[in-house]
């Protein structure tokens, strides 16, 4: 999918689902609690706001927390591709002006040294850097696969790093393959791609290494236009599909026993700023939707989910810090800085 080409509206929901919660949210004296069950939060929309003239953002694509507790934001604004905050929202530093298509951001502890993996849509590359931006490795388009004839066909959106250092790249805006490399960047294998079988993907926007079951680690891969995550073994064998009707999920983020994901938009209101955040438990059951409908199931499958409160426009990523706070980065949402959500005890 080319994200620059908006789809036509395919459905209309009644005003009671969106307009009324939007009015409630606008009441400054009334506190809105987001989420359900044991995952409920208060929102701070001003947390990441900076002087836009000095530290502008374009699309706020993804965020991670390093071992020092710092929150690292990736934006495709080349005046400062990387913005580093403390947990209170204070600016620590910025760097980077060479990533016009900065999209995916993954942090990995490599033998005691933390490194970043940046996926750049425009450069058609994955770039491994130090935390201060020094380039350590560059992965060009995967011609070794036999699936690509030129760099422009490869538009990587995300990486996941296995404990042994293997690099998994999701070509989410290109041909939807998952390409596996070793820690040195040597090609191992690929799988997925577009097609009609369950093992195939449609908009493989995100990927993560899910080791919540230490004896059976899996790769969790987004198939966004199918409103689903698909699970694979670390060597690429398809396991099953986690259907999330109505939710155009971005990358899965594992923290503790839970899986968190920004939902770009609701299927019922495509390209109408209808995003929210979803949270799944260790059994991959939806337990909370932040600014979204209450989780419910029918025949062991979630009912269609949708935005209920106009708190977000197009959420693109969620970061969970060491104090269980959430940070939400948004795409195509008026150059807004990240929001912070704190748990309600």
Asked if 99 and 81 count as a contact pair (C-beta separation under 8 A), the reply is yes
pTM for the model: 0.92
Q: Is residue 269 part of a domain?
A: yes
**Cα separation values, 177 from 12, 223, 308, Å:** 33, 11, 34
Q: What is the pLDDT along the chain (345 residues), one digit of tens a residue?
A: 444 443 333 333 333 333 333 433 444 346 899 999 999 999 999 999 999 999 999 999 999 999 999 999 999 999 999 999 999 999 999 999 999 999 999 999 999 999 999 999 999 999 999 999 999 999 999 999 999 999 999 999 999 999 999 999 999 999 999 999 999 999 999 999 999 999 999 999 999 999 999 999 999 999 999 999 999 999 999 999 999 999 999 999 999 999 999 999 999 999 999 999 999 999 999 999 999 999 999 999 999 999 999 999 999 999 999 999 999 999 999 999 999 999 998
Residue-number span of the structural domain to which 199 is assigned: 15-343
First to last CA, the chain: 40
Q: Which long-range contacts (CB under 8 A, 24 or more apart) does 292-298 make?
A: 292/247, 292/263, 292/266, 294/36, 295/36, 295/37
Tokens at 24, concatenated: 């409630």
For residue 270, the tally of other CB atoms under 10 A from its CB is 16
Q: Is residue 9 part of a domain?
A: no
Distance, CA of 174 to chain centre: 17
The CATH code of the domain that includes 130 is: 2.120.10.30
- What total of structural domains would you count in the chain? 1
pLDDT digit string (tens) for 95-153? 999 999 999 999 999 999 999 999 999 999 999 999 999 999 999 999 999 999 999 99
Report CA Rg, the chain. Answer: 19
Asked if 340 and 327 count as a contact pair (C-beta separation under 8 A), the reply is yes
Q: Is residue 96 part of a domain?
A: yes
* Spatial distance between the Cα atoms of 76 and 57, rounded to a whole number of angstroms: 7
Distance, CA of 111 to chain centre: 25
Q: Is residue 209 part of a domain?
A: yes
Asked if 34 and 25 count as a contact pair (C-beta separation under 8 A), the reply is no
Q: Is residue 4 part of a domain?
A: no
Of 157, 175, 92, 150, whose CA–CA distance to 118 is shortest? Answer: 157
Q: Is residue 10 part of a domain?
A: no
Q: Is residue 6 part of a domain?
A: no
Q: Is residue 332 part of a domain?
A: yes
């Amino acid at each position: 999918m080319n994200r620059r080409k908006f789809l036509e509206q395919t459905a209309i929901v009644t005003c009671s689902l969106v307009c009324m919660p939007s009015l409630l949210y606008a009441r400054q004296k009334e506190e809105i609690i987001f989420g359900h069950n044991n995952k409920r939060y208060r929102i701070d929309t001003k947390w990441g706001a900076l002087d836009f003239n000095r530290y502008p953002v374009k699309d706020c694509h993804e965020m991670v927390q390093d071992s020092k507790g710092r929150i690292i934001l990736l934006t495709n604004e080349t005046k400062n591709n990387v913005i580093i905050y403390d947990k209170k929202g204070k600016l620590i530093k910025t760097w980077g002006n060479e990533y016009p298509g900065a999209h995916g951001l993954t942090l990995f502890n490599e033998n005691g040294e933390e490194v970043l993996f940046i996926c750049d849509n425009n450069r058609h590359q994955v770039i491994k850097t130090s935390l201060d931006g020094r380039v350590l490795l560059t992965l060009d388009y995967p011609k070794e696969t036999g699936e690509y004839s030129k760099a422009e066909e490869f538009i990587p959106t995300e990486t996941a790093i296995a404990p042994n250092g293997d690099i998994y790249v999701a070509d989410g805006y290109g041909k939807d393959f998952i390409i596996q490399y070793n820690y040195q960047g040597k090609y191992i294998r690929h799988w997925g791609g577009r097609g009609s079988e369950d093992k195939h993907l449609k908009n493989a926007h995100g990927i993560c290494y899910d080791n919540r079951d230490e004896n059976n680690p899996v790769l969790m891969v987004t198939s966004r236009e199918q409103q689903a995550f698909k699970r694979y073994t670390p060597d690429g064998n398809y396991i099953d599909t986690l259907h999330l009707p109505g939710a155009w999920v971005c990358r899965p983020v594992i923290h503790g026993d839970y899986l968190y994901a920004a939902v770009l938009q609701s299927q019922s209101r495509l390209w109408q700023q209808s995003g929210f955040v979803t949270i799944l438990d260790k059994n991959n059951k939806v337990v909370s939707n932040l600014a979204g409908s209450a989780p419910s199931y029918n025949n062991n499958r979630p009912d269609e989910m949708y935005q209920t409160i106009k708190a977000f426009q197009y959420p693109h990523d969620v970061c969970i810090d060491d104090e269980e706070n959430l940070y939400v980065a948004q795409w195509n949402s008026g150059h807004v800085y990240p929001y912070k959500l704190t748990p309600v005890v």
